[in-house]
């Protein structure tokens, strides 16, 4: 009995899945500091781009390439990471603007010191 036959995986399917999952894993950083949302957004977008590219290759291959589920996992995880990170970033800005701490920090940064 021979080994089961597996289709070769489309280029970009595995990186899409990994980037999407890492983007999700980094989401708790957004809760601690507003800047933590940036890596999740970047990795999520990359996961989506690689996933869509891999799915297009798979669809164009006529059944000779595999990895569709990994590419779809990258698209889904990347989309969730981008969406949740954007919402958390907006909430952090809203809380910062509401308390006035954000505006005070900006005013202190641009204020010219008096001699």
Question: Is residue 48 exposed (0-12), middle (13-18) or buried (19+ Cβ within 10 Å)?
Answer: buried
CB 81 within 8 Å of CB 46: no
The pLDDT of residue 60: 93
CB 10 within 8 Å of CB 61: yes
When pLDDT is cut at 50, 70 and 90, the band that residue 44 belongs to is very high
Q: Which residue has the tokens 């690689």?
A: 50
The pLDDT of residue 98: 64
Cα(72)–Cα(16) distance, rounded to whole angstroms? 8
Mean pLDDT to the nearest integer, 7-26: 92
Q: Measuring CA to CA, which residue among 16, 52, 34 is closest to residue 90? A: 34
At 64-106, the pLDDT tens digits run 899 999 999 999 999 999 999 888 777 777 776 666 666 677 6
Q: Which residue has the tokens 């989309």?
A: 79
């Amino acid at each position: 009995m021979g080994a089961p036959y597996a289709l070769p995986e489309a280029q970009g399917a595995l990186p899409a899945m990994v980037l999407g999952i890492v983007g999700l894993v980094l989401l708790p950083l957004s809760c601690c500091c507003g800047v933590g949302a940036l890596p999740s957004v970047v990795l999520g977008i990359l996961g989506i781009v690689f996933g869509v590219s891999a799915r297009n290759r798979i669809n164009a291959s006529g059944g000779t390439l595999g990895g569709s589920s990994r590419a779809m996992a990258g698209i889904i995880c990347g989309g969730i990471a981008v969406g949740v990170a954007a919402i958390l970033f907006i909430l952090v800005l809203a809380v910062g603007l509401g308390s006035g701490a954000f505006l005070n920090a900006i005013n202190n940064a641009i204020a010219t010191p008096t001699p």
